[in-house]
Structures are given as structure tokens and as C-alpha cells.
Amino acid sequence: MDRVAIIGSGSWGTGITALVSPHTETVCLWAREDEIARTICEEHRNPVYLKDVTLADNVIATTSMEEAVRGADAIILASPSAYLRPTVHLLAPFVDPDTPVLVLTKGIETPSHLLMHQVVAEEIGNPQRIAVLAGPNHAEEIAIGAVSASVIASDDQDIAAFFQNMLASSVFRAYTSDDVIGVEVCSAVKNVIAIACGIAAGEGAGDNTLAALMTRGLAEIGRMVSVLGGNPLTAMGLAGMGDLVVTCTSRHSRNRTFGEALVAGESLDEYQERTHMVVEGARACVSICELADAYGIEAPISRVVYAVLYDGLSIDEAIESLLGRVPNEEFYGYQKRNEAVS
């Protein structure tokens, strides 16, 4: 390929250049800030995100969306969920109607309850050319070539294969899927579970407690996937269990570390301002709880995270709420795919 455009110069946008740069003549990062674009072009590093990583010589940056996507063979979207729609809306006039698009953003839009690929499709059309990527792949490790794996999902398997080939390397294994809904729901809900795990860790919880939270969180993810029209088996793969484990346990996880910071007395706004990172789980739990209400999905962990963040529920009360639930069958609330919401 001649050119790949990456829209978003945060950690993920910056980190994924390590996978893209060997497969194309030029990688062009779009940045909001002049200083980030200038430093990437002049010094081959991002001065704000992944500051210690040296970018490949064929990585450039610009603050012009039109310039970023001009002549691009593919576009990768790496904006936080809160900014995805306005960003893609500004980008839309410059996007060729057939250019393949890969969405890295994880979340569920409020109040529309649309998944990220659906938001993108509303703004640029031709949903068949859109794919999503998810898995246990922290940008900090991708950028330095650590062995990683992900799943790329699209309704069009040729598009999934296109991006699979574009990102493939000896240290990055990409698998394909046609379950776009399942992959996206897994990506959104696991961030909420990670906040819960961070809270538990901050309270001094042991390994048993964290393991219980993760596995019951996985069951919660599976119920959401099943009822919303995905394949619950997806929750057992890279987008579900894989991403859940790394997000709930890693020091790189903003959702996990936010949960710990919350216990220590730091607010959501204070945490985001200090880290320059968006806590996607804090936003996603709003839509997740609204969807749970609309479709009768049991989501106890997501609900207590919401209550702690937005309703003033104390952490002690949240723990008591979860422990006071009567245990059910281990896997309940799943639907056959033809019974799920379309």
C-alpha cells in the first residue's frame, strides 16, 4: 500500500503505527494538537503519548484531516468513544466511499446505544467496508513489539482479511470474525468490569475475589452479547476473555487503575486530567445499564459501578449489594441467536 491514515494520535493511534508501518509506504497520523504533529514529523516521537517510543521513519503527522486521508488506501479510527462521532463527522467529506475503515474505538454511544461501527457507518456510509479490532493489546506493548493477538470483525470477510493482512507480523496474530456485534459488546462491557476489579484491588481484595469478579463479569458480558444479537462464544475469545483479563489486571489499564484511584479518593475528572486518558468504562456503563433496563438483561456488576460513579453509592454498599445476591445457575440469561435483538 502507498498510504494509511490513522485518525487519532493518542496511545492507541500512536502504538498501532508499529503494526502498520512495515506494510505501507507512508503512515499519516491525524492529531488535534500542532505540537504533537510537529514533534512526530521532526523527531519521530509523540510528546504526550508513548513518549519513549521511537516511531518508524515513514510515520508522519498532520492536523489536517483532508491531508491525512488524501490518497489513503485504508483509514484507521483511534478516537475515544466520546469524540468518535464529531471526529468522523468532520472527516466524512474527505473519505472515499469505498476506502476500508478499521475502528479501534471501544464503547457504546449515549444516548443512541449505537456501537462504534454503527456510529461510523451513520457518518460515512457503506457499512460493509467497516471492520472493528479488539483483543488483549495494550498500546504500550504493541508499540515495542511484544507478542500480542487480536480479532478483526466485519460483515464482509474480505474486509476483515484485508486488515488481517495489513497488521500481520511475526509478533502480532490477528484472527477474523463475522460477529461484529459480539466483538463490540465485549469491548465495551469489559472496561466496566475492569473498573470493578480496580475498586476491589484498591480495597485490598485477594486473588480469589478478583478471579470471581472477572469470571462473573465474563458471564455478564456473555448475557449482553447474547441478547443484543451477538454470538456468546465470542465472549470466550480474544475480544471477551482475552481483553477482559488484560484490562482487569494490567498496570497499563486506565479502567483498572482508575478503580484503584477512586478508592484512594480521586474523582473521575481528576484522574482523566492527570493521566490525559479517557476512562471508557465510566462512559460505557451508562449505555450498558440503559440497555440492560430496556432488554431485561441482568448486569449486576455494571449496575454497581454505575451507582458508585453517578448515584453516590459507597464502595462498601456496592460490595454488600453484590455479595447479597442469591447465586443463580452459572450461565443464565443467554438466548439463541435467532431470539436475540436484531
Measure the CA angle with vertex 246, ends 156 and 315; round to 5°: 115
Asked if 220 contacts 301 with a C-beta cutoff of 8 angstroms, the reply is: yes
Q: Residue 303: CA atoms inside 13 Å, Cβ hemisphere, count?
A: 14
Helices (H), 264-299: 268-275, 280-295
Give the separation between CA 193 and CA 60, rounded to whole angstroms.
36
The answer to whether residues 246 and 136 touch, using CB atoms and an 8 Å cutoff, is yes
What does the block give as the cell for 242? 482475552
- Judge contact between 329 and 219, C-beta under 8 A: no
User: Residue 59 belongs to what H/E stretch?
Assistant: strand 59-62
How big, in percent rounded to 5, are the helix, strand and coil portions of the chain?
A: 55, 10, 35
Out of 51, 106, 190, 336, the active site residue is 190
**What strand order describes the sheet that includes 148-154?**
59-62, 26-30, 3-7, 74-77, 101-103, 130-134, 148-154, 172-177
**Known catalytic residue at 190:** yes
What residues are labeled active site? 190
